[in-house]
Amino acid sequence: MKLETYTRRWRPAELPQRSDGDANATNATRPVLRFAPSPNGPLHLGHALSALLNFDMARRLGGRFLVRIEDIDLGRTREEHVIGILEDLAWLGLAWEEPVLRQSEHFATYQAAAHTLLKLGLLYPCFATRTEIAEASSRHAPEARDPDGAPLYPGLHKNLTKQDIAERMARNEAFALRLDMNRALDRLEAETGSRRVTFTELDDDGRAQEVEADPAAWGDAVIVRKDVPTSYHLACVVDDARQGITHVVRGRDLYAATGLHRLLQVLLGIRPPIYHHHRLLTGPDGRKLAKSGGARGLAELRNEGIGAAEVRARVGLEHQRPPISV
């Protein structure tokens, strides 16, 4: 992967531009919501909760409901899971607009966004391995962790000379592109007067409040991975913008990521959506339901004769009205 890969010109038509007026100017348009699973396993009840909340809110707002397949992790993506996701959603009674966007088909768009950040001087190549990062972190700042619990990047390779970078690339060493957080915050402050970001969050009763977040908690986050020309954070922000998503309804486990996403939105000139981070379903051990933890799939429940109405009841939506803001 060469740095030149990210020199493709940004095409302004690919993303809606940020409004010069009210940050919530998206409210004047028809609301758009999305459910965006990753096809690395079957859907479980936690996914059902998120999908149903998005669908119900879109319907009550008279808005649009989209499904997006977040399949940038090519090594873990399985086509049978893509098929299974759509079958499960249809079984739940959900209807969505076609075509379904698959992120693996749009790497060029994410490269264009990365190019924008590169031209601003906000990304730099990082050749460090996970082992090198973990060892450096344990020596210098063992307690420093990002909101996901990973060691904060200790700055390896951040100050390589152009010659060093060219030589390592000539040897075809794999590299990621990291966000220079200090420079990004300098630009944020120049544009907004603050080194922190805010976003509109709806509580469970639909009341809106402005929340302040500190993107610096993520350190020099990976924006382009070594194995694919994007990351979850970049692809999510870009796709929410180009699909015109007005309301992002997702699990509480992604609440902390919103600070980084808002920073990327400012840097890319993207209009922010409204957010609602819903409760997480947990298992008997008190941990959130997860594919990796062996949570039972919706297809398994369906094969046992459980109906969609029972799923709604199991996730606590039988009598619950999703929050509304237009």
Distances (CA, A) of 267 to 14, 181, 303: 15, 12, 47
**Does residue 158 fall inside a structural domain?**
no
- Measured between alpha carbons, how far is 256 from 263 in angstroms, rounded to an integer? 12
CA distances in angstroms from 70 to 23, 95, 102, 150, listed in the order given: 27, 18, 6, 22
The pLDDT of residue 157: 83
CA–CA distance, 14 with 16 (Å, rounded to integer): 7
Residue 228 lies in a domain: yes
pLDDT the model gives residue 34: 98
Residue-wise pLDDT for 81-100, tens only, equals 999 999 999 999 999 999 99
Q: What is the pLDDT of residue 169?
A: 95
Q: What is the pLDDT of residue 22?
A: 45
What is the token pair recorded at 233?
């954070």
Give yes or no for a cis peptide into 142 (omega within 30° of 0): no
Look at residue 20 in the predicted model and tell me its pLDDT: 40
Residue 2: its pLDDT value, please?
59
40, part of any domain:
yes
What is the model's pLDDT at position 36? 98
CATH of residue 265: 3.40.50.620
Q: How many domains does the chain have?
A: 1
Low-confidence ranges of the chain (pLDDT < 70): 1-28, 319-326
Does 167 map to a domain?
Answer: no
Active centre residues (catalytic)? 291
Q: Has residue 150 been placed in a domain?
A: no
Taking the C-alpha atoms of residue 230 and residue 72, their distance in angstroms, rounded to an integer, is 8
What pLDDT is attached to residue 321? 54
3-state secondary structure the chain: CCHHHHCCCCCHHHCCCCCCCCCCHHHHCCCEEEECCCCCCCCEHHHHHHHHHHHHHHHHCCCEEEEEECCCCCCCCCHHHHHHHHHHHHHCCCCCCCCCEEHHHCHHHHHHHHHHHHHCCCEEEECCCHHHHHHHHHHHCCCCECCCCCECCCCCCCCCCHHHHHHHHHCCCCCEEEECHHHHHHHHHHHHCCCCEEEEEECCCCCEEEEEECHHHHCCCEEECCCCCCCHHHHHHHHHHHCCCCEEEEEHHHCCHHHHHHHHHHHHCCCCCEEEEECCCECCCCCECCCCCCCCEHHHHHHCCCCHHHHHHHCCCCCCCCCCCC
Q: Looking at the domain assignment, is residue 319 inside a domain? A: no
Residue 74 lies in a domain: yes
Q: What pLDDT is attached to residue 71?
A: 98
pTM: 0.90
CA neighbours closer than 13 Å in the CB half-sphere of residue 168:
16
Q: Is residue 50 assigned to a domain?
A: yes
- Full residue range of the structural domain in which residue 178 is found: 3-127+174-314
pLDDT at 318: 75
